[in-house]
A and B are shown apart, each in its own frame.
Chain A
Amino acid sequence: MARDAGYDDFLDALADGTGYYLACENDHGSLPPRRVCPRCGGDLREEPLPETGDVASYTEVHVATPSFVDDAPYVTAVVDFGPVNLTGILRGVDADDVETGMTVTVGVDGGASAEGEAGGDGGETGDAETERSVVFEPR
């Protein structure tokens, strides 16, 4: 599976617990791949992503795309980390117990080959079975 430069580097960092976001001189937050700030066109620097965020909105998806059919129903959430929001799959909590405002941690799931290769470099082996997903879990 081809790597997407910037995005997969971001996921590698998230998986290693060293997640980051991009910020411009006006402190607009954004996520890679970016060459300039999408709001003001300014230069970008990396800043550490806060370790936890709060669920801003969520949906329990029952009718999924083919790649997610086996997981349905599952919860996809947008989580507010302050400078940026991030979308991912919310695990480890019953859908009926999810609430906006609940605090979650972030990680990365999937992308490992059938042999069980995982971790930060797993994405570039070329034999990954699934695309990786951002995942959240209640803290």
Chain B
Amino acid sequence: MTNVRVAGVGLTHFGSHPERTSRDLFAEAGAVALEDAGVPREDVESVFYGNFMGEVAEHQGHTGPLAAEALGVRAPATRYESACASSGVALRQAVKDVRNGEADVLVVGGAERMSHVGTDETTEGLAIAADDLYEVRAGLTFPGAYGLMARAYFEEHGGSREDLAHIAVKNHANAVGNEHAQYQKEITVEQALDSPTVASPLHLYDACPITDGASAAVLVSDDYADEHDLDAPVAVTGTGQGGDMMALQDRASMAASPAADDAAAEAYDDAGIDADDVDLAEVHDCFTIAEVLAVESLGFAERGDGITAAREGETRKDGRIPVNLSGGLKAKGHPVGATGVSQLAEVTSLLRGDHHNSDAVSGARVGVAHNAGGTVASATVHVLEVLD
């Protein structure tokens, strides 16, 4: 079976681009990825595209072909939707296609345009990732759902708002120097604690911002990389996906993310590694509590211990397992459909050594990307490794 080599990656600036269509954002990220890969457009055999709220935000469905044509690629294209894990699931399908020998060159990525419709509409748009009958009609928002999870976690395992604030502080610090990041400034624990309530116990600084942006990557087979003498030292060596009941009310516990547990177990097994082998991770911190659940699902902390991982320095830049060296969704931003592949781009750069935080993890060989949809009713985990 061939390796799935990450030949190139591309990102737009993540932030407020209210006048740019998602197709235009994707065209930029895709062009950067093709340039980075040194792969000509005409070699691309298919486009795998993640997008969540095109219908709501841009009155646009059927966004796969539109993304491909914006990129200048004449090839079949499919849009994948799995809420915030949209491009994570797109990536998984692309990886499988290369492995199966279906294709030698694929573009995978995603885009989202959100900031132009305002907070009310974005809140409504994000809420469609929850169960409409049983959650949205009970007034539940996306932050509200994570508020329920945070409260359940505190009840079950202990922890405090201050523990969560340390996650926000860490991720903001990591984003300083990331030219793609929405917020490139440090914050303090006091600022996080004093920010307004969004959905208790979560406050504004526990939440990722509303973000426009796009991501892309070029995946190639070993044969193609060798024939074209590509410099592509990083490969996707493991892929996993998990699922769960949509509504929080139907889960055995609201203080865990079993879909991500399953995705991690599958991806680690696929790559032949375990949690101890991982040097760094990009995880889905749409809210600070989500990073806690992710760190536990990935096996970097025991259940109930993830809450203090940032506060105690374990997941900081100089810690045992640096998490979200990009700034994470919290500071880098969360253009929903683009996030999964943007994590792949960050991990690839960190492992190649051309990331703004590469010095913190010099010699790193194994990185993980954890992407979650909704309240983790879907999750993907991918393992990336530097090939010998």
Closest to B151 in A: A57
Give the number of residues in A that approach B within 8 Å (Cβ atoms): 36
CB of A93 within 8 Å of the partner chain = no
B140 and A61 within 8 A (CB) = yes
Q: Which of B104-149 contact A (CB under 8 A)?
A: 119-121, 123-124, 127, 133-141, 143-144, 147-149
Instruction: Render A39-72 as a binary contact track against B, CB cut-off 8 A, 1 for contact.
Output: 0000000000000000011111111111111010
B135 partner residues in chain A, CB cutoff 8 A? 87
**B227 on interface, CB distance cutoff 8 Å:** no
A22 to B133, CA, bound (A): 16
A130 to B311, CA, bound (A): 44
Contacts of B155 in A (CB 8 A): 57, 100
Q: What residues of A have a CB within 8 angstroms of the CB of B152 in the complex?
A: 56-57
If A56-B254, A85-B249 touch, does A68 touch B139 (CB 8 Å cutoff)? yes
* Assembled-state Cα–Cα distance A59/B135 (Å): 13
Interchain CB contact under 8 A, A89 and B138: yes
Of listed A7, A38, A63, A67, residue having the most chain B CB within 10 A: A63
Q: Could you tell me if A134 and B138 are in contact, using CB atoms closer than 8 angstroms?
A: yes
Is B19 close to A, CB under 8 A? no
Which residues between 70 and 92 of chain A lie within 8 Å of chain B, taking CB atoms?
Answer: 71, 73-74, 76, 78, 84-89
A89: nearest chain-B partner, CB-CB: B139
Contact with A along B63-80 (1 / 0, CB 8 A): 000000000000000000
Chain B's nearest CB lies how many Å from the CB of A40? 13
Q: Are A63 and B143 in contact (CB under 8 A)?
A: yes
A31 at the binding interface (Cβ < 8 Å) = yes
Q: Which residues in A have their C-beta under 8 angstroms from that of B143?
A: 61, 63
Q: How many Å from the CB of B113 to the closest CB on chain A?
A: 19
A76-B148, A78-B249 given; A87·B254 CB < 8 A? no
Complex: how many Å from CA A7 to CA B138? 13
Q: When the two chains form their complex, are residues A64 and B133 in contact, meaning their CB atoms are under 8 A apart?
A: no
Write the nearest CB–CB distance from A113 to chain B, whole angstroms: 18
Among B120, B141, B200, B249, point to the contact of A87 (Cβ < 8 A).
Answer: B249
**C-alpha spacing A132/B144, complex, angstroms:** 19
Q: Interface centre among A38, A58, A59, A132, by most B CB within 10 Å?
A: A59
| B148 contacts A61, C-beta separation under 8 Å | no
* Contact in complex: B151, A61 (CB < 8 Å): no
Query: Is B139 a contact of A31 with CB atoms below 8 Å?
Result: no
Interface string of B230-270 (1 = CB under 8 A from A): 00000000000000010111100010000000000000000
Q: How far is the CA of A134 from the CA of B151 in the complex (A)?
A: 21
Complex Cα spacing A61 to B248, Å: 16
Report if B18 contacts A (CB, 8 A): no
- C-alpha spacing A69/B144, complex, angstroms: 14
B198 interface residue (CB < 8 Å to A): yes
Check B362 for interface membership: any CB of A closer than 8 A: no
Q: Is the CB of A64 within 8 A of B148?
A: no
Report yes or no: B124 in contact with A59, Cβ–Cβ below 8 A: no
> Inside 8 A of A30's CB, which chain B residues have their CB?
250
B203-237, CB under 8 A of A: which get 1 and which 0? 00000000000000000000000000000000000
Interface string of B183-200 (1 = CB under 8 A from A): 000000000000011111
Interchain residue pairs with CB less than 8 A apart (16) = A7-B133, A30-B250, A38-B245, A38-B250, A57-B151, A57-B155, A59-B200, A61-B199, A63-B198, A68-B139, A69-B120, A78-B248, A84-B250, A87-B135, A88-B138, A133-B139
**Lowest 3 A-B CB distances belong to which pairs?**
A59-B147, A85-B249, A60-B200
